[in-house]
Chain A
Amino acid sequence: AQSVTQLGSHVSVSEGALVLLRCNYSSSVPPYLFWYVQYPNQGLQLLLKYTTGATLVKGINGFEAEFKKSETSFHLTKPSAHMSDAAEYFCAVSDPQSGGGADGLTFGKGTHLIIQP
């Protein structure tokens, strides 16, 4: 079974600083990878995804992530944090060998991003 590890349940950065949220997955076969953002009292919204092709993926709100097969990682970055980026971020994977991913996405436990003024 797939598993997803997000290092750091809470990450705090200063406004304008680099944001780095870490995600590692366990799989012998590269899965499909997703980052979601959840603002308070809201549902999850897709930030970006990697399926095939270019390993550096750009998403909404200035975020990007790089798929590194050798490190089984899919870390999320943003060059300059903004106060509006404060939210919960979830990394998720879908196993392409698992019935076409019908059994859903496997989520990490989430990272709460805090932006210091």
Chain B
Amino acid sequence: NAGVTQTPKFRVLKTGQSMTLLCAQDMNHEYMYWYRQDPGMGLRLIHYSVGEGTTAKGEVPDGYNVSRLKKQNFLLGLESAAPSQTSVYFCASRNSFMNTEAFFGQGTRLTVV
């Protein structure tokens, strides 16, 4: 059971570089999310999607873009990386029933120098 898979697991970027983080889920979930985790801040929602072709902003969307071209994939893009985007990024998915939990990937540790 793969569940939610994130690639890559680690990445170091220089300021101004761009990259895309990929999230794939094999549970046929409607909802997908990108969170960032910073020490003492818990998890904060960046963007989310309620279905193929739809995206919406979360709590901390600035500097990020997302796309959901296929139901199973949710991409997070950084167009011009900044040191403030150094963080651990988690993707999660959830089905559309209100009382269900989210399933998380293993995370991507991104360092921007």
Task: Point out residues on A near B: beta carbons under 8 Å.
Answer: 9, 32, 34, 36, 41-46, 49, 51-52, 90, 94, 96, 99-105, 107-110
Contacts and interface: CB of A to CB of B under 8 A. Distances in A.
Interface residues of B, number: 28
29 contacts: A9-B40, A32-B98, A34-B101, A42-B107, A43-B90, A43-B104, A43-B107, A44-B43, A44-B90, A46-B101, A46-B103, A51-B99, A90-B42, A99-B50, A100-B96, A100-B97, A101-B94, A101-B99, A102-B50, A104-B31, A104-B33, A104-B45, A104-B48, A104-B94, A107-B42, A107-B44, A109-B40, A109-B41, A110-B42
Interface of B: 4, 31, 33, 35, 40-45, 48, 50, 56, 58, 90, 92, 94, 96-99, 101-107
Contacts, number: 66
